[in-house]
């Protein structure tokens, strides 16, 4: 099963890397599927002399990109394309990200990009976000205890390590049948909450890798 998933991520990553042209500024996501995309992009850089600049969403993805020979740049200027993985995506394009703790940077780069590609395999496509059940939030550490008290009904759990930006990472257990955007808005309205892991994505830009090396989109 693990090998099948790795093959699916590799297929999605290769398909995404094929969308990137010479001269592009590219946002590099975090996680296993995004890593497959970074490695596929690195292979093109080495084989074709592709001239691009990568902007990583985490220290980990930056290290992978450096290993692959992808030049790295700052996030200031707009991106031509950004790609990332996801924890779960529903049929309406609601998407949960943040299991790797990088959702703040991921949203910054996704918002800056002209096109945002999401790389997944089949199990990440769910009937409802209830199948995933967890909404991560990033919180200023000073406010973490107060935020957890305010959201006590959602069973908040603070992770033992903070994000690359020093934010406390707290996972909320969203009950089945809840309105996910409403829960996300409630969390973000609290003082000290920087962001949450609920995104809306374009299903036509969700690339689903298959174990046999083929891909399809979610649209």
106 labelled catalytic = yes
Q: Domain segments of the chain: what residues?
A: 2-123+200-212, 129-197
Contacts (Cβ under 8 Å, ≥6 apart) of 130:
174, 176, 177, 178
Exposed/middle/buried for 137, CB within 10 Å: 0-12, 13-18, 19+?
A: buried
Other beta carbons within 10 angstroms of residue 194's beta carbon come to 17
pLDDT band at 184 (very low <50, low <70, confident <90, very high): very high
Domain 2-123+200-212 class in CATH: alpha beta
pLDDT of residue 115: 97
Give me the catalytic one of 4, 6, 106, 182.
106
Question: How confident is the model over 114-144, as pLDDT tens digits?
Answer: 999 999 999 999 999 999 999 999 999 999 9
pLDDT > 80? residue 2:
no
Domain 129-197 class in CATH: alpha beta
Mean pLDDT value across the chain:
96
Q: Decide whether 2-123+200-212 matches 129-197 in CATH topology.
A: no
Question: How confident is the model over 52-107, as pLDDT tens digits?
Answer: 999 999 999 999 999 999 999 999 889 999 999 999 999 999 999 999 999 999 99
């Amino acid at each position: 099963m693990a090998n099948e998933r790795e093959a699916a991520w590799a297929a999605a990553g290769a398909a995404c890397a094929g969308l990137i042209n010479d001269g592009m500024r590219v946002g590099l996501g975090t996680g296993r599927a995004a890593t497959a995309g970074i490695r596929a992009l690195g292979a093109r850089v080495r084989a074709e002399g592709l001239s691009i600049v990568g902007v990583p969403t985490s220290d980990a993805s930056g290290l992978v990109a450096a290993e692959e020979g992808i030049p790295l740049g700052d996030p200031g200027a707009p991106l031509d394309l950004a790609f990332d993985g996801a924890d779960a995506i529903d049929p309406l394009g609601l998407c949960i990200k943040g299991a790797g703790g990088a959702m703040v940077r991921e949203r910054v780069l996704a918002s800056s990009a002209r096109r945002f590609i999401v790389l997944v395999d089949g199990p990440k496509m769910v009937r409802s976000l209830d199948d995933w059940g967890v909404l991560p939030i990033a919180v200023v550490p000073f406010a973490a205890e107060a935020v957890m008290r305010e959201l006590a009904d959602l069973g908040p759990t603070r992770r033992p390590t903070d994000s690359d930006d020093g934010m406390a990472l707290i996972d909320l257990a969203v009950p089945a049948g809840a309105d996910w955007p409403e829960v996300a808005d409630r969390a973000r309205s609290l003082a000290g909450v920087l962001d949450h892991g609920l995104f809306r994505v374009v299903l036509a830009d969700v690339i689903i890798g298959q174990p046999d090396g083929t891909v399809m989109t979610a649209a």
